[in-house]
Structure 1
Amino acid sequence: MSIKEFLWSDKVPIWWSLATSLVSAALGALFVLCVVPHFNRGFENEKIRTSFLLGKLNQLDAQSTNIALIMNEFVTQCSVDANSDASDLASELKQERFKLSLLAIEVSAMLPSDVDREKVKSMSSAASQLTIPRQCPKLDDLSEYIDQTGELKLKVLQVSQALARSADL
């Protein structure tokens, strides 16, 4: 009896059925124990990375919004009272700029390309140019502060887009 006749015959011995069932079960178990965890590990790593990057995106947005609120408060305060003291707002802005610069360092380390890292540097330099004087400037000069804030928000948006692109979000 040849192999072809043995495999395709109507009467297959019971030992052959048991052997093929056991081999199939062993291969299935090997697949479940070895291959599936590898894929699962990859998915979990990507899930953790995506969650981390989304957190950084939220932090970037929150920091830039805090800076914009402080600058808006400064412009409003100086518009209402040209002789007011803005030293409290200046110190708040300094703290927020520091937090943004720390966040920029973290984000820069996550970005793979030099072009994207340049965007982070550009954002950091835009943030460092934001300053609030202790005394309110003339009303004509207040629009400069709003322009600087808008420029910072645009730079943060560019960095957020680069970060989202690097994470394939």
Structure 2
Amino acid sequence: MSAGSEFAAWLGQAAVVGFGWLVVHRLSAARDRDKARREMVADSAEQLAACLDAIHADSRGYHLAPRDVAVEVRIKMALQDAAMHALGLSEICNDSETLARCRSDIAALRRAISGEHFEDEHDGPLPETAQQFQRIADAFLKAKRSFLQLKHRQFPVV
């Protein structure tokens, strides 16, 4: 074999190795990005579920006590923030069905909390047996379940 043909063979092997490295590098980078995205969605779902805990506690306290404008504002802002964060997840999460359910459940929770006996309708504490507490608890649990499903769907069983 001549030196030229040996060099051409070596150059061919180097090109194949270089191309292989490029393909593996791109696939590995895509896998790492996807993993980071899924972890970010799961972490956000977990944080939103924790935020719902605080909203639920504040809403119970609000409806069991005389009107407190500061708590009203805190509840409204927390519900708005939760809805905004859930909407923002659509930028990085492809599971539009589960995200739509999460957003819908936050809206239902907002209606259960503020649909009656809220702001100017609040003239005194509600009794523990009021139906509104059951509606709030149902909406809260449904929203928590939706965010838990969103979190778990980021790591499907293969």
TM normalised by structure 1 equals: 0.68
Is the CA contact (8 Å cut-off) linking 2:79 and 2:106 kept in structure 1?
Answer: no
- Give the alignment of 1:1-169 within 5 angstroms: 22=7, 25-79=10-64, 82-85=65-68, 86-106=71-91, 110-111=94-95, 117-131=96-110, 132-133=113-114, 134=118, 135=122, 136-141=125-130, 142-165=133-156
Runs of 5+ in structure 2 lacking a partner?
Answer: none
Task: State the structure with bigger RCO (CA 8 A, min sep 6), 1 or 2.
Answer: 2
State the SS of the aligned residue for 2:142: helix
CA distance in 1, matches of 2:134, 2:37: 36
Task: Mark the structure with the bigger radius of gyration.
Answer: 1
1:151 Cα shift? 1.3
CA distance in 2, matches of 1:156, 1:29: 49
Tell me the C-alpha RMSD between the 2 structures: 2.8
CA distance in 2, matches of 1:128, 1:24: 66
1:68 Cα shift? 1.8
Is the CA contact (8 Å cut-off) linking 1:107 and 1:163 kept in structure 2?
Answer: no
Residue identity (%): 12
Q: Which segment is superposed worse, 18-27 or 68-77? A: 18-27
Runs of 5+ in structure 1 lacking a partner?
Answer: 1-14, 112-116
The alignment of Structure 1 onto Structure 2 pairs a total of residues equal to: 144
State the SS of the aligned residue for 1:65: helix
CA distance in 1, matches of 2:81, 2:139: 15
Is the CA contact (8 Å cut-off) linking 2:52 and 2:144 kept in structure 1?
Answer: no
1:78 Cα shift? 4.1
CA distance in 2, matches of 1:102, 1:137: 32
1:45 Cα shift? 1.3
